[in-house]
């Protein structure tokens, strides 16, 4: 049996979801089809999940047209973070992905015993404590 290119991505997502305690209790807030207007590009379809206790946000982004394969670039206008309203990313010009990729962008994301990221455009692999370190 030969695995496809998607196997690695699915495995990484599984490890993230299994280790991410704040993801276990999320509410669906909105998506691009229900007036969630956070992306600077219509090519990016965004769904927002939020943990009602920790206020962690999970912006799940994919191409609006699921058959589309060109690269897309965008920014997210995020209003509810502990740092206030942000247009992310702050350091690089935009978020980019190609083809049929998708991405989970986290905000106010608690991980380990005592750490919290205001946001991350990098895919979170593991959200736990190893040998006493977050």
**pLDDT at residue 112, as a whole number:** 63
- Model pTM score: 0.83
Sign of CA dihedral 6, 12, 16, 19: positive
5-36 pLDDT, tens digit each: 666 667 776 777 776 788 889 899 999 999 89
pLDDT bucket at 74, cuts 50 / 70 / 90? very high
As a whole number of angstroms, the distance between CA 112 and CA 128 comes to: 4
pLDDT bucket at 87, cuts 50 / 70 / 90? very high
> For all residues of the chain together, what is the average pLDDT?
82
Three-state secondary structure call for residue 117: strand
For tokens 């691009």, the residue is 32
**pLDDT at residue 9, as a whole number:** 67
């Amino acid at each position: 049996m030969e695995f496809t290119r998607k196997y690695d991505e699915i495995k990484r997502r599984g490890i993230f979801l299994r280790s991410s305690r704040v993801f276990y209790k999320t509410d669906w807030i909105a998506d691009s089809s229900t007036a969630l207007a956070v992306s600077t590009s219509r090519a990016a379809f965004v769904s927002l999940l939020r943990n009602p206790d920790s206020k962690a946000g999970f912006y799940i982004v994919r191409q609006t047209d699921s058959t589309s394969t060109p690269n897309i670039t965008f920014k997210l206008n995020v209003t509810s973070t502990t740092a206030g309203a942000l247009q992310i990313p702050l350091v690089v010009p935009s978020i980019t992905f190609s083809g049929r990729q998708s991405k989970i962008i986290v905000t106010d994301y608690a991980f380990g015993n005592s750490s919290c990221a205001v946001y991350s455009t990098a895919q979170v692999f593991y959200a736990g404590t190893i040998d006493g370190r977050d």
